[in-house]
Amino acid sequence: MDIRVEPLAAALREAMALSDSARLEMGLRGRKLVEEKCSWPKIAAEMKSVYEWVLGQGPKPECVVG
């Protein structure tokens, strides 16, 4: 992922060129993604599965990388 200023400026220009409805739809999809992947119940369930795995009481969870 390129995190320099110019790619960020280009991404912002691209987003601002979208219609209001397209930006609204993008925002709604982003919100849904965050709610699915970053909600406290989701995080708690992942942590529970990690602890179970570490204790030898469950399989390696998908959230564990490497």
Is residue 63 assigned to a domain? no
User: Is-contact 30 15, C-beta < 8 A?
Assistant: no
**What is the average per-residue pLDDT within 1-16?**
90
First to last CA, the chain: 20
- pTM for this predicted structure: 0.59
pLDDT band for position 61 (cuts 50, 70, 90): very high
- Interatomic CA distance for residues 20 and 27, integer angstroms: 10
Is residue 42 assigned to a domain? yes
Q: Is the pLDDT of residue 42 over 80?
A: yes
**Side chain identity at 1, as an amino acid letter?**
M
User: Is-contact 64 53, C-beta < 8 A?
Assistant: yes
Is residue 64 assigned to a domain? no
- Interatomic CA distance for residues 29 and 41, integer angstroms: 19
Q: Is the pLDDT of residue 9 over 80?
A: yes
For residue 47, the model assigns a pLDDT of: 97
Is residue 65 assigned to a domain? no
- What are the backbone dihedrals phi and psi of residue 62, each rounded to the nearest 5 degrees, phi first? -65, -25
Number of domains making up the chain: 1
